[in-house]
DNA sequence: GGCCATGTTTGCTCCTAGACAAAGAACCCT
DNA sequence: AGGGTTCTTTGTCTAGGAGCAAACATGGCC
């Protein structure tokens, strides 16, 4: 396996504050893996054999309920750690991760985690921050689902997605990976139909621009006002 | 300040695997504080000056939305760590914690955290697990709010509360701290009125027994079947 | 012991968003 | 190019649960 260059992970927060030699050391234990579009990186309830850093592409992480419904937990963007089940004391993955476009990730065996944190204490501290941020996000989502109606929830999700994976295009800001109305529905606790209706309404107001697996926000500020329930 | 006895925290998971001398050392830096019923332990958006372990009592942790609505994040039971904002990289508390009964907590200054984790690496690892568990809980809640109707959500919340703070009484299992219908509403994303109606219906079926700030589950198994949407 | 604040119950109305249904559009594969 | 799959749109109907309103309990406090 070719060595992974340190520059690839220069901005990965989990390595913050670690010495370059330490990072090199950690990278030496990782493998780089390709995940073609549509393939699972790991599956819910499967033994948590590995943890990962996404180098390229995008993943969709979702939970499956006993009755077969899916709930999208998040999308993973390049530079993010994922699959840290072992670190938080789980034997199995709590969700499934699937590549929504061809993706590349660094892979470490979970078994190495205890040794890695022992030799690199900063790793646990940084991971704690990462997991903490996710906890914040999850709580934000709970609050939104408890107190906001569907339209505002959709607005919030779109704003977050553009922040995480927005790419400037002529028409506005586009979410930089294929995302369906169904995905948005599964992130907001709404139905596909309602999401479609809301986006159609927004499109006719010039707020967003839709397309198959494509959403462009034309007026981020207006969407923000809507999300926060402020007067225009 | 009188020294805190080690036995008080023998079963606190955050100290798991630490040597007794290490635990003593950590305890020496803590203060024990009383929080009479109704007082705030910390407040949302206030500077995160301290982190805590609850020794006795129960706390209600909630978030306040810009428009004044409350959402209960969780109840804290004895033995749990809380207020670890600093550890997850926050300068301020993301929620408010209020004592629902007279409570006692160990208090450490947040400023000491970096030094403590540096000298006791196991602390970061254990905290990571604790925060990880909360992340799981939050995701469970998101899934429930996305896919279940109010009645099942209430059932799930009650089951979780009995697991966390259930006390056997003659009539069944009682939630061991004062909890209002409003609290349950704020944990489930329902309204006080709907919660009251659901509990009334259950009471007439002999499933639960209500009272002012009091909920007793008479038939945990039936409630479980209801929560999981299984036939009886 | 009585008052008052806080919490609970219940009735009625209304509306948001889900359920069901079906057609239409975009893309992929052979 | 054709055909099939996947994704999106739109219409109609309906119900779960919110909103509003008011009466009713319970326990703490003076």
CA proximity to A81, closest of A120, A132, A136: A132
Retrieve residue A104's tokens.
């590349």
- The size of the A-B interface in CB pairs under 8 A is 122
Cα gap A154→A139, rounded to integer Å: 16
* Residues of B at the A interface, defined by Cβ within 8 angstroms: 63, 65-67, 69, 71, 73, 87-90, 94-95, 117-118, 121, 124-125, 127-129, 131-136, 138-139, 141-143, 145-147, 186, 189, 228-229
Classify burial at B64, counting beta carbons within 10 Å of its beta carbon; exposed 0-12, middle 13-18, buried 19 or more: middle
Classify burial at A19, counting beta carbons within 10 Å of its beta carbon; exposed 0-12, middle 13-18, buried 19 or more: exposed
Residue A9, pLDDT score: 83
Cα gap B102→B214, rounded to integer Å: 17
Query: What are the chain A neighbours of B145 within 8 Å (beta carbons)?
Result: 142, 145-146, 189
**Closest chain A residue to the Cα of B113, Cα to Cα:** A125
H/E run at residue B202: helix B192-204
The integer distance in angstroms from the CA atom of B209 to the C1' atom of C6 is: 20
Residue A5, pLDDT score: 78
For the stretch B35-79, pLDDT in tens is 999 999 999 999 999 999 999 999 999 999 999 999 999 999 999
Residue whose entry in the numeric block shows the structure tokens 């259950």: B202
Q: Is the CB of A180 under 7 A from strand D?
A: yes
Residue B2 binned pLDDT confidence (cut-offs 50, 70, 90): low
Name A31's bridge partners.
A107
Closest CA–CA distance from residue A171 to any residue of chain B (Å): 32
Average pLDDT, integer, range A174-183: 97
Residue A126 binned pLDDT confidence (cut-offs 50, 70, 90): very high
Residue A149, pLDDT score: 97
Residue A6, pLDDT score: 82
Residue A182 contacts by C-beta under 8 Å, 6 or more apart in sequence? A192, A195
Residues 72-131 of chain B within 7 A of strand D, judged by CB, are: none
For the stretch B175-231, pLDDT in tens is 999 999 999 999 999 999 999 999 999 999 999 999 999 999 999 999 999 999 887
Interhelix angle B121-147/A121-147, nearest 10 degrees: 20
Cα gap B68→A222, rounded to integer Å: 23
- Mean pLDDT of all residues belonging to chain B: 94
Q: Give the bases of strand C that a protein CB approaches within 7 Å.
A: 7-11, 16-21, 26-27
- Can you give the three-state secondary structure of chain A, one letter per residue? CCCCCHHHHCCCHHHCCCCHHHHHHHHHCCEEEEECCCCEEECCCCECCEEEEEEECCEEEEEECCCCCEEEEEEECCCCEECCCHHHCCCECCCEEEECCCEEEEEEEHHHHHHHHHHCHHHHHHHHHHHHHHHHHHHHHHHHHHHCCHHHHHHHHHHHHHHHHEEEECCEEEECCCCCHHHHHHHHCCCHHHHHHHHHHHHHCCCEEEECCEEEECCHHHHHHHHCCCCC
- Pairing between β-strand B103-109 and β-strand B40-42 as defined by DSSP bridges: unpaired
Per the CB < 8 A criterion, the answer to whether B41 and B49 are in contact is: no
Q: Is the CB of B37 under 7 A from strand D?
A: no
Q: Looking at the predicted structure, is the pLDDT value of residue A1 above 80?
A: no
Q: How far is CA A106 from the centre of its chain?
A: 16
Of B87, B128, B139, which is closest to A138 when you measure between CB atoms? Answer: B139
Average pLDDT, integer, range B119-125: 90
The integer distance in angstroms from the CA atom of A78 to the C1' atom of C3 is: 65
Residue whose entry in the numeric block shows the structure tokens 């937990």: A73
Residue A68, pLDDT score: 92
Residue B54, pLDDT score: 96
Average pLDDT, integer, range A12-25: 89
Residue A2 binned pLDDT confidence (cut-offs 50, 70, 90): low
- Protein residue at shortest CA distance from C1' of D26: B212
Residue A232 binned pLDDT confidence (cut-offs 50, 70, 90): low
Cα gap B94→B109, rounded to integer Å: 17
Q: Give the bases of strand D that a protein CB approaches within 7 Å.
A: 7-11, 16-21, 25-27
Q: Looking at the predicted structure, is the pLDDT value of residue A3 above 80?
A: no
Q: How far is CA A229 from the centre of its chain?
A: 26
Closest CA–CA distance from residue B169 to any residue of chain A (Å): 32
Q: Looking at the predicted structure, is the pLDDT value of residue B232 above 80?
A: no
Domains of chain B: 6-144 (2.60.120.10), 148-227 (1.10.10.10)
Q: Looking at the predicted structure, is the pLDDT value of residue A40 above 60?
A: yes
Which strands form A81-82's sheet, in the order they lie side by side? A31-35, A103-109, A50-56, A81-82
- Protein residue at shortest CA distance from C1' of C20: A193
Average pLDDT, integer, range B121-125: 90
Residue A58, pLDDT score: 97
Residue A193, pLDDT score: 97
Residue of A73, A86, A147, A153 best to disrupt the B interface, most CBs of B under 10 A: A147
Residue A230, pLDDT score: 85
Residues in contact with strand C, defined as Cβ under 7 Å from any of its atoms: A 149-151, 189-191, 193-194, 211-212; B 180-182, 192-193, 196-197, 199-200, 203, 210, 212-214
- Mean pLDDT of all residues belonging to chain A: 94
For the stretch B150-169, pLDDT in tens is 999 999 999 999 999 999 99
């Amino acid at each position: 396996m070719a060595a992974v260059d340190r520059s690839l992970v220069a901005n990965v927060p989990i390595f913050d504050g670690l010495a370059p030699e330490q990072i090199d050391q950690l990278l030496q234990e990782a493998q780089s893996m390709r995940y073609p579009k549509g393939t699972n990186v790991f599956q819910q309830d499967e033994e948590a054999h590995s943890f990962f850093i996404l180098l390229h592409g995008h993943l969709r992480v979702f939970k499956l309920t006993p009755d077969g419904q899916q709930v999208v937990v998040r999308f993973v963007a390049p530079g993010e750690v994922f699959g840290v089940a072992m670190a938080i004391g789980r034997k199995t993955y709590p969700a499934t991760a699937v590549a929504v476009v061809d993706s590349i990730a660094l892979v470490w065996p979970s078994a190495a985690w205890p040794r890695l944190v022992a030799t690199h204490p900063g790793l646990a501290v940084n991971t704690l921050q990462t997991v903490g941020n996710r906890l914040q996000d999850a709580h934000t989502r709970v609050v939104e689902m408890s107190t906001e109606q569907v339209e505002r929830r959709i607005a919030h999700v779109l704003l977050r997605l553009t922040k995480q994976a927005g790419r400037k295009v002529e028409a506005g800001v586009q979410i930089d990976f294929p995302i369906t109305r169904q995905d948005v529905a599964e992130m907001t606790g709404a139905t596909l139909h309602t999401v479609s209706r809301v986006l159609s309404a927004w499109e006719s107001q010039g707020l967003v621009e839709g397309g198959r697996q494509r959403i462009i926000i034309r007026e981020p500020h207006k969407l923000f006002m809507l999300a926060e329930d402020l007067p225009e």
